[in-house]
Structure 1
């Protein structure tokens, strides 16, 4: 089976609903994390200071990724995406993820990742990849918690929004590893 790049679909469980990111989500998203430098600290763009800036960023993200608004208790609280991974057969990346502080340290991130990883493997992908800034220890811990295995670090991989160099830490979950991790997360 040849893996397909995921299409914009709705994915849902008892904690979150992931729906294709649109301009309609911008007011809730701005309320959740717009202008919050800590929320946007590790993102490739600075914190949007206005709803218009956030809308422009959302359009840019959606043009290059399969982007989802993360809906929790009826409101958009962040976004997450799938991205193609050139050079890695039947792989997909989950990234460009952010959440407002109100849902940090809740079940939101784990619930999103379960939906996204399940969906990726159902489409025939053999691996799901993640990358994060080498200084973003909170993100690295979250990726490890869901089962991500450290696969390496690309030094000076990309520039941060402030112009400094970022090393990117790569993680992966293989299809055959996922059932055990999924069962543990659901417990």
Structure 2
């Protein structure tokens, strides 16, 4: 698979005073493994991590997608503790259309509710719009994932609609996927909103 300019520029170090996002590498396997084994993380994920074999297959797919340019996979580090907190990715990179997706996101349960997800989204959106020159950034989630849907709306992402019976889930049901987006013209207000939300969680920011 040939790499486009986006494939190259998507994978880089992103950071602020709260979080660091770095491209995934083999050295991240064990730090991520240590936080992956809680079933609550995977309730709305399209795969499950229940065993070491599950995790290794999951992590190997992260490395393979990163290597091929299919995704730009990031590992999220909480700067407050210095610990690996989870992962997120750019995917569905459609450079000719100015469009990409942020997703494949998860955090260890001890890192949830601390503003880490919001700061990670802030950095990924900022890089997508300000460096890569994206015109549209997409998100999608399970229609049943009320927490993720509320979080996306709170950041200012626009809820576009439901794609019914989008994909199978491990428990056998077919997921209805809800799409959200942020457009270039909307990014300044979304940026302000994410900054306010982050400072509400981290008052010293």
Q: Which runs of 5+ in 2 are unaligned?
A: 197-205
- Matching of residues 47-58 of structure 1 within 5 Å: 47-50=49-52, 52-58=53-59
Name the residue aligned to 1:7.
10
Q: CA RMSD in A?
A: 2.0
Q: Tell me by how many angstroms 1:84 deviates.
A: 1.6
Name the residue aligned to 1:181.
190
Higher helix share: 2
Equivalences, count: 184
Distance 2:18 2:95 in 1: 34
TM-score (norm 2): 0.83
CA contact (8 A) 2:14 2:21 kept: yes
Q: Tell me by how many angstroms 1:61 deviates.
A: 3.0
Q: Deviations over 1:119-176 (max 9, x none)?
A: 0012111011000011011111111121111011100000112221000000000111
Name the residue aligned to 2:202.
none
CA contact (8 A) 1:41 1:47 kept: no
Q: Provide the secondary structure at the position in 1 that maps to 2:39.
A: coil
Q: Provide the secondary structure at the position in 2 that maps to 1:71.
A: strand
Name the residue aligned to 1:145.
154
Name the residue aligned to 1:69.
75
Q: State the 4+ residue runs in structure 1 displaced beyond 6 angstroms.
A: none
Deviates more, 1:79-88 or 1:111-120: 79-88
Q: Aligned in 2, Cα 1:103/1:21: closer, same or farther, shift over 3 Å?
A: same
TM-score (norm 1): 0.91
Name the residue aligned to 2:200.
none
CA contact (8 A) 1:85 1:93 kept: yes
Q: Aligned in 2, Cα 1:86/1:178: closer, same or farther, shift over 3 Å?
A: closer
Deviates more, 1:94-103 or 1:77-86: 77-86
Deviates more, 1:40-49 or 1:56-65: 56-65
Q: Please, which of 44, 47, 65 is the counterpart of residue 45 of structure 1?
A: 47
